[in-house]
Amino acid sequence: MKKLSIMVMVMALISAAITGAIAQKKVVCKVKGSDTCLPLLQKESETFMKNNAGSSITVIGGGSGVGFAALQNGTTDVAMASRSMKMDEKMKMQDAGKNNIKEVIISYDAISVIVNPANKVSQLTREQLEGIFTGKIKNWKEVGGDDQTIVAYSRESSSGTFEFFKEHVLKGKNYGTGILLMPATGAIVQSVTQTKGAIGYVGIAYVNKDVKALKVSYDKGKTYIEPSVQTAMNKTYPITRPLYLYYLGSVESKVKPFVDYILSSDGQKIVQQEGYVPLGK
């Protein structure tokens, strides 16, 4: 009986070792694109590589458009994006012989409008935001603030956040000529931190104690909603959007273990820990 118990224990240990080996997945790939997604994918890849020996995942920002271009020319395996792929981008992919494009939503985001903490303005309507970023509203006193020039910061046109903000906040209108275009989201946060009259917009994960996130109204000032993980999850915050990964079917077996990890309960815990909005069940 004692020998039998020992054999059972040995078999259990061997089974556990085999299961562990099977569970471990080696992934070698490049991920490029959205600055909004960058901190999340860096943390997800870091954790995945730690738990899966031999894996090597390189994550680079630059903007959603940069990611799609890299996917098209074959310099990345996965494009991360804060907007969906446009029709003309899909056509370019098809022209390049890349037809089987996979789209995966990995989390959600609340685009947060931020100002310097010294600014007494704490809320704006969509119409006021449109006026500021199209250049019609130029002074904070026009929206209840001090007599001070507005310094508005935006991402560059290669950014998915630039596109989404233009479509959903400016209602398709062009940004004003005086808007300062920044190459990275972190640069917007830094500029708003250092400039009293500044305003910008960033993914919610970039909001920190050095800036103030404004409440936003989409019903002409009747109700103002603060950007948060909770208000994004319950869809009450109006500037909420999905975040995506795109890859080709030809590399699916290569990248899917990593994608599946992001979608898993462990991966979604990282989503929330990093300040993003996890997928609803």
pLDDT tens digit sequence for 217-269: 999 999 999 999 999 999 999 999 999 999 999 999 999 999 999 999 999 99
Please, what is the average pLDDT of the chain? 92
The interaxial angle of helices 160-168 and 64-73, nearest 10 deg, is 130
As a whole number of angstroms, the distance between CA 149 and CA 233 comes to 35
Token reading at 20:
């562990």
The whole-angstrom separation of Cα 34 and Cα 241 is 13
pLDDT above 50 for 195: yes
Residue 280, pLDDT score: 77
**Tens digits of residue pLDDT in 118-157:** 999 999 999 999 999 999 999 999 999 999 999 999 999 9
DSSP state of 59: E
Residues in the chain: 281
Segment 81-101 shows an average pLDDT of 93
pLDDT digits (tens, 9 = 90+) for 18-40: 334 335 689 999 999 999 999 99
Q: What is the pLDDT of residue 49?
A: 97
All structural domains of the chain, each given as residue ranges with its CATH number in brackets, are 28-108+242-273 (3.40.190.10), 110-240 (3.40.190.10)
- 34: closest CA among 88, 79, 85? 79
Please determine, for residue 3, whether its predicted confidence score (pLDDT) is greater than 90: no
**Coil vs helix vs strand at 260:** helix
Q: Does the pLDDT value for residue 8 go beyond 80?
A: no
User: How far is Cα 162 from Cα 17, in angstroms, rounded to an integer?
Assistant: 48
